[in-house]
Amino acid sequence: MKTITSKFDKVLQASSSNGNVQHQPDASQERQRNVPEKSLPFSDQIGNYQRNKGIPTKSYQDSKVYIIGSGIAGMSAAYYFIRDGHIPAKNIVFLEQLAVEGGSLDGAGNAKEGYIIRGGREMDMTYENLWDMFQDIPALEMPAPYSVLDEYRLINDNDPNFSKARLIHNKGKVQDFSKFGLNKKDQLTLIKLLLKRKEELDDISIEEFFGESFLSSNFWTFWRTMFAFENWHSLLEFKLYMHRFLHAIDGLNDLSALVFPKYNQYDTFVTPLGRFLKDKGVEVQFNNLVKDLDIHINTEGKTVKAIITEQKGKEVIIPVREQDYVIVTTGSMTEDTSYGDNTKAPIAAIDNATSGQSAGWKIWKNLAAKSTIFGNPEKFCSNIEKSSWESATLTCKPSALIDKLKEYAVNDPYSGKTVTGGIITITDSNWLMSFTCNRQPHFPEQPDDVLVLWVYALFMDKKGDYVKKTMPECTGNEILAELCHHLGIIDQLDDVVANTIVRTAFMPYITSMFMPRAKGDRPAVVPEGCKNLGLVGQFVETNNDVVFTMESSVRTARIAVYELLNLNKQVPDVSPLQYDIRHLLKAAKTLNDDKPFVGEGLLRRVLKGTYFDHILPWEEKDDEEHESFIGEHLAKFKEWMKGIRG
């Protein structure tokens, strides 16, 4: 490949940066300063300068890539191997244990048997890696040259998202959700958390750090139900989320900071990306269970020599050469899902005895048994009582439930526009039940008279208020009864049941990546010494990104490709908005329920009428400008000083 850069040989041979790119720079450790030795962009310097094409150090025409797992992380790895690594698509093979690609990004069914989506995706505009990829993936419904990103922008630019009923209680009455309800002590505790170094938070849970007033606040209800956090989950992950989404905190209560796709996650993302990869020549082998890797370990490093699979009940060993690459998705948030329907519960009871025994976890456990550099999967898969919840997908013909839904909708549910704007949480539900209706149709072939709703609950160990069972013990019809009870339409239950198909999914590991962890529990994307192995997905370590997002999966895939191929290209750190003084000031005011924060009045006096006036948080103004508490007392202090001097 030297012919590509032959005209630059003199410069490259004299450069200390050539071949020594830090592929995953860390903004939280970088003091930004321009010096002669600093030739690469700052860690989180987002922008078009990062759009340079990667230049491989050698030809990969003879290299093969084996990608274990065809979820969004594996599919993204294939994309980056092709685009930036210049590896021929026909050399890339997916080994997938299921009969369909997409992993946890699912969406299936029909109006007759019922649709099912185990989960959904609340998206953010700052997902730089996700949009970097989907700007190049041909659109699902628009003609060439338009992309998935173009479709996404078209609908969200013209149909803003917000909720008018984020919280309900008392048989379906809309509850005031305008305030976070954090007292001064809890606000200070949040600030303390933001100031803490990540290294101080190993194995600490949220409830160990915050008191009862915080855990019972509206803020925590918004947060935990939107992101699926439990009190016993990782304080470190909560901190990372706070930094990652600090810019969106003022849209947390009404969900106005979110953007949603037109359709479900499978049709929106997996279908066009899968089509793109297959059209390029990528091979997908379904029903191919990978059990283990044969890794040769010596003083020079760790090299995968073979992939041990099971195909049609027989063990098949796939040899791997030194010039080949292997990408593994470690762990799975949707592994061992149990399903139910209107008349059948998904499980009889939560049973931890078999946790972590399925294929998605065993391959990670087998890797961890070879070396400590592969992490500690037991931290994440051994306590399903604390990592599980259940969702239900409702396929609805017109009924009393749809009539009630219209009261909470910001647009007509059949209009194709935003409906509930995200989840509606029932605050007096024992299960802490939430439900949502996204833009309809939610599936491309969905009939006009059908709506698809999604329901989930966080408290799996509690009995319902109306149905005296835990949610996993309930049939779909019993879940409808519990929902109708909380909506105040229990007297119309028969009508709702007759017009609603329910498909339930109990997921034992759905929030396992949130479990408290310490350094080393999650392996690096390319573990130390690995020559041809990369690990991707939700259970690997990144510098500052969070889990449970499509963005983090794409990020890990991109890091794996750049590091394994040693490309002259970096994966920029998360969006730097957390360091922006505008968002810091806005967050301070938002956490204080839009009341002035300490020093705001003084800042407004100093900056009023200057170029920097606009950095202060937005505020409503009457004809007469109101001074803040601090400003008023500053004036009184000046008068007092005049009196003293007089």
List, for residues 459-517, the tens digit of each pLDDT value. 998 999 999 999 999 999 999 999 999 999 999 999 999 999 999 999 999 999 999 99
pLDDT of 631 higher than 90: no
pLDDT band at 627 (very low <50, low <70, confident <90, very high): very low
What pLDDT is attached to residue 620? 67
Helices (H), 16-88: 72-83
Mark residue 123 as left, alpha or beta (left: phi above 0; alpha: psi -120 to 50; beta: remaining). Answer: beta
Beta sheet of 167-169, edge-to-edge order: 173-174, 167-169, 424-426, 433-436, 451-457, 389-396, 500-507, 338-340
Cβ contacts of 566 within 8 Å, gap of 6 or more? 19, 21, 57
How far apart are alpha carbons 524 and 641 in whole angstroms? 60
pLDDT band at 350 (very low <50, low <70, confident <90, very high): confident
What pLDDT is attached to residue 358? 82
Residues constituting the chain: 646
How far apart are alpha carbons 269 and 119 in whole angstroms? 14
Instruction: Tell me the average pLDDT across 299-308.
Output: 96
Structural contact between residues 191 and 211, judged by C-beta atoms closer than 8 angstroms? no
- Over the stretch 311-342, which tens digit does the pLDDT of each residue have? 999 999 999 999 999 999 999 999 999 999 99
What pLDDT is attached to residue 557? 98
Answer yes or no: 639 catalytic: no
Which DSSP letter does residue 262 get?
S
pLDDT of 203 higher than 50: yes
Which DSSP letter does residue 41 get?
P
pTM: 0.94
Number of Cβ within a 10 Å radius of residue 491: 9
71, two tokens: 């979820």
């519960």: which residue's tokens? 345
* From 79, 152, 241, 266, active-site residue: 241
Helices (H), 334-475: 359-370, 378-381, 400-408
517, two tokens: 């962890």
Structural contact between residues 552 and 542, judged by C-beta atoms closer than 8 angstroms? yes
pLDDT over 70, % of the chain: 96
Structural contact between residues 317 and 306, judged by C-beta atoms closer than 8 angstroms? yes
Among 33-47, 165-179, 414-428, the minimum mean pLDDT is found in 33-47
pLDDT band at 351 (very low <50, low <70, confident <90, very high): confident
CA 479 to each of CA 163, 496, 501: distance values in angstroms, whole numbers, following the listed order: 24, 11, 11
pLDDT of 644 higher than 60: no
How far apart are alpha carbons 298 and 308 in whole angstroms? 20
- Over the stretch 132-159, which tens digit does the pLDDT of each residue have? 999 999 999 999 999 999 999 999 999 9
pLDDT band at 633 (very low <50, low <70, confident <90, very high): low
pLDDT band at 600 (very low <50, low <70, confident <90, very high): very high
96, two tokens: 């997938």
Residue 349 CB-density burial (10 A; 0-12 exposed, 13-18 middle, 19+ buried) = exposed
- Over the stretch 213-239, which tens digit does the pLDDT of each residue have? 999 999 999 999 999 999 999 999 999
Which DSSP letter does residue 259 get?
B
552, two tokens: 């983090």
Among 43-57, 99-113, 347-361, 392-406, the minimum mean pLDDT is found in 347-361
pLDDT of 403 higher than 50: yes
pLDDT of 259 higher than 90: yes
Residue 89 has φ and ψ, to the nearest 5°, of: -60, -35
What pLDDT is attached to residue 636? 55
Greater model confidence, 597 or 477: 477
**Residues facing residue 124 across a β-bridge:** none
- Degrees, nearest 5: CA angle 101-283-556: 60
Q: Which helix (H) or strand (E) holds 67?
A: strand 65-68
Distance of CA 120 to the CA centre of its chain: 10
In the chain, the amino acid numbered 319 is P
What pLDDT is attached to residue 625? 46
What pLDDT is attached to residue 622? 37
Greatest alpha-carbon span in the chain? 98
Helices (H), 474-569: 476-487, 493-498, 550-565
Cis check: omega of the bond before 444, within 30 degrees of 0:
no
With the C-alpha atoms ordered 370, 371, 374, 379, is the resulting torsion angle positive or negative? positive
How far apart are alpha carbons 585 and 602 in whole angstroms? 13
What pLDDT is attached to residue 642? 63
What pLDDT is attached to residue 523? 98
- Degrees, nearest 5: CA angle 56-59-62: 135
Structural contact between residues 73 and 554, judged by C-beta atoms closer than 8 angstroms? yes
Structural contact between residues 52 and 570, judged by C-beta atoms closer than 8 angstroms? no
Structural contact between residues 99 and 399, judged by C-beta atoms closer than 8 angstroms? no
Greater model confidence, 289 or 635: 289
Structural contact between residues 588 and 595, judged by C-beta atoms closer than 8 angstroms? no
CA 264 to each of CA 107, 217, 440: distance values in angstroms, whole numbers, following the listed order: 6, 31, 10
- Over the stretch 424-475, which tens digit does the pLDDT of each residue have? 999 999 999 999 999 999 999 999 999 999 999 999 989 999 999 999 999 9
- Over the stretch 385-399, which tens digit does the pLDDT of each residue have? 999 999 999 999 999
**Residues facing residue 424 across a β-bridge:** 435
pLDDT band at 534 (very low <50, low <70, confident <90, very high): very high
Number of Cβ within a 10 Å radius of residue 350: 16
Among 161-175, 372-386, 618-632, the minimum mean pLDDT is found in 618-632
Answer yes or no: 266 catalytic: no
- What mean pLDDT, rounded, does the chain reach? 94
Pairing of strands 108-110, 283-285: unpaired
With the C-alpha atoms ordered 485, 490, 496, 502, is the resulting torsion angle positive or negative? positive
* From 122, 237, 335, 478, active-site residue: 122
